[in-house]
C-alpha cells in the first residue's frame, strides 16, 4: 500500500487556463515471485486510486500490471515464456505526460499478452539451434475518444501478432570457420489500419587465420510490408549491412592482448 499527496500548479497542462491543486494517490498492490529449477514467475499489480487527477474533482481507478513467467517443459531444450501488462498510455500529441496525475484525460488503457514456446536443440558438435514461435495480443480502451486524431487511432489499433524465429550457429566442430543462419518473421493483424509484416533471412561466416586474425562476411534478404507516408518507399530485397561508412561485404578483425581492431571494407 502506498499513499501520497501531490501538488501541481498546472493539473490540466493548459497554457492559458492553468489549474493548480492537490492530487491524492492511494494505491494498494501485490507482488508475487517464485522460482525453481524448471520455472520462474514474477507478478506486480497495483490498483491506483486517484482523487482530483487532472483537476477533475473526482475519483479515478487505474489497473497496473507487470507479469512474466518462464517454464521448462524439457530441461534445457523446450521452454514456454509468457508475459502480460496493463498500463495507461498517452494518446494526444498535444500533451506529454508520463503519469496519470496531469493532462486532460487523453489516455487509454493498454493491455498486452504474449506467449512464446521455443526449442533450443543441439546437433552434436556441429550446430546449436533456436526455433521459436509466438503470439501476442494488444488491446486499447477509449481508442475512439474525440480527443484522439484519426492518425493516432490507427496507431493504437487493437491487434494480434504472430512471430517466428529460427537460428542455427556453428558448434565446436568448427574451429577455423564459424557460421550462422537466421530467419525472423512478424505479422501484425490490426482491427483498423493496414496490417504489418516483417520478414528477414540473413547469414554470416567468419574465417580464423589464427587466434588474433580473422575475416568475416554477412548478407541477407528482407521482405516487408507496412504503410508509409511515401508510396513505394519500402526497400525489399537482398542487403549487405552498412557499418563504419562502408559496405560490409567482408571485414578484418585483429586482436592482441590489449587492443581489438575491426575493419569493414
Low-confidence ranges of the chain (pLDDT < 70): 93-98, 104-105, 142-155, 227-265
What is the per-residue pLDDT for 261? 42
Place of cell 484525460: 105
Nearest to 160 by CA among 118, 116, 191, 133: 191
150 vs 203: CA distance, rounded Å: 40
What is the per-residue pLDDT for 256? 45
Q: Find out whether 77 and 62 touch, Cβ atoms under 8 Å.
A: no
Beta bridge partners of 198: 186
- Copy the grid coordinates of residue 133: 514461435
Helix (H) or strand (E) holding 109: strand 107-119
Can you count the helices (H) and strands (E) in the chain?
Answer: 1, 18
What is the per-residue pLDDT for 56? 85
3-class secondary-structure state, position 152: helix
3-class secondary-structure state, position 155: helix
What is the per-residue pLDDT for 57? 87
What is the per-residue pLDDT for 155? 62
Amino acid at each position: 500500500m502506498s499513499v501520497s499527496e501531490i501538488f501541481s500548479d498546472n493539473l490540466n497542462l493548459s497554457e492559458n487556463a492553468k489549474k493548480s491543486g492537490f492530487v491524492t494517490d492511494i494505491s494498494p498492490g501485490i507482488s508475487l515471485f517464485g522460482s525453481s529449477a524448471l520455472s520462474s514467475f514474477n507478478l506486480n499489480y497495483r490498483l491506483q486510486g486517484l482523487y482530483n487527477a487532472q483537476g477533475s474533482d473526482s475519483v479515478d481507478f487505474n489497473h497496473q500490471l507487470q507479469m512474466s513467467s518462464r517454464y521448462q517443459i524439457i530441461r534445457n531444450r523446450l521452454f514456454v515464456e509468457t508475459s502480460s501488462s496493463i498500463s495507461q498510455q498517452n494518446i494526444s500529441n498535444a500533451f506529454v505526460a508520463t503519469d496519470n496525475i496531469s493532462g486532460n484525460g487523453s489516455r487509454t488503457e493498454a493491455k498486452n499478452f504474449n506467449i512464446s514456446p521455443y526449442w533450443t536443440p543441439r546437433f552434436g558438435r556441429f550446430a546449436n539451434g533456436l526455433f521459436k514461435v509466438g503470439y501476442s495480443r494488444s488491446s486499447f480502451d477509449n481508442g475512439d475518444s474525440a480527443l484522439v486524431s484519426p492518425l493516432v487511432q490507427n496507431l493504437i489499433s487493437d491487434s494480434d501478432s504472430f512471430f517466428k524465429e529460427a537460428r542455427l550457429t556453428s558448434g565446436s566442430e568448427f574451429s577455423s570457420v564459424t557460421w550462422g543462419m537466421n530467419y525472423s518473421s512478424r505479422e501484425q493483424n490490426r482491427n483498423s489500419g493496414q496490417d504489418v509484416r516483417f520478414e528477414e533471412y540473413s547469414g554470416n561466416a567468419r574465417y580464423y587465420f589464427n587466434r588474433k586474425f580473422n575475416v568475416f562476411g554477412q548478407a541477407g534478404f528482407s521482405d516487408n510490408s507496412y504503410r508509409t507516408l511515401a508510396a513505394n518507399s519500402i526497400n525489399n530485397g537482398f542487403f549487405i549491412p552498412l557499418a563504419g561508412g562502408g559496405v560490409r561485404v567482408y571485414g578484418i578483425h585483429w586482436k592482441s592482448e590489449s587492443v581489438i581492431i575491426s575493419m569493414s571494407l
